[in-house]
Amino acid sequence: MIALLQRVAQARVEVAGVTIGAIGQGVLMFVCAEPGDTDALADKLVAKVLKLRIFGDDAGKMNRSLVDVNGGLLIVSQFTLAADVSSGTRPGFSAVAPPEQGQRLYERVLATARATHPVVACGEFGADMQVHLINDGPVTIPIILRS
C-alpha cells in the first residue's frame, strides 16, 4: 500500500460542493492499494500512521503521535499515488489494484482506523473530490508498505 501523509492544522474533503469529511489538527492520509496488498497490510498501515511521531513536543521536536495529540485522521483514496511516470509524459496506472480490490482495502483501512482511533473522517472512493487543507509545517511523509 502507498500512503501520503500530510500533517494539517485542518482539512476537509468535498464532493459536488458538499463537505463529506473534515478534521481540525491531525493527519490527512491519501491512500492507494496495489495488486498484492492484503487486509494485514492495510491494518499495518493504520497502526503505523497512528503511532508515527510527527507532531511537536514541548521542545518542538517531532516526538508526539496522532494518538498523543488526539488529532483527527482524514482518509482519502487516491489511486494516482501508484502512477508510473518512468516513460513518456502520460502517467501509467498498471500498478494500481483493480477498483473492487482498491475499494475493499480502502474500506478496510477506514474500518481499522475507526475501530482504533476516535476521530476519523473520510472521502468517497471513486468520487471526484476537492480536498482543502492547511499543511502544518509543512510536514509531508510518503509511506510505502509491501507484503
Catalytic residues: 78-80
Q: How far apart are CA 104 and CA 123, in angstroms?
A: 14
Q: How far apart are CA 21 and CA 72, in angstroms?
A: 11
Cα-trace Rg, the chain: 15
Lookup: cell for 47: 497502526
Extract the C-alpha cell encoding 107: 474500506
Length of the chain: 147
- What are the residues whose beta carbons fall under 8 Å from the beta carbon of 116, sequence distance 6 or more? 46, 47, 50
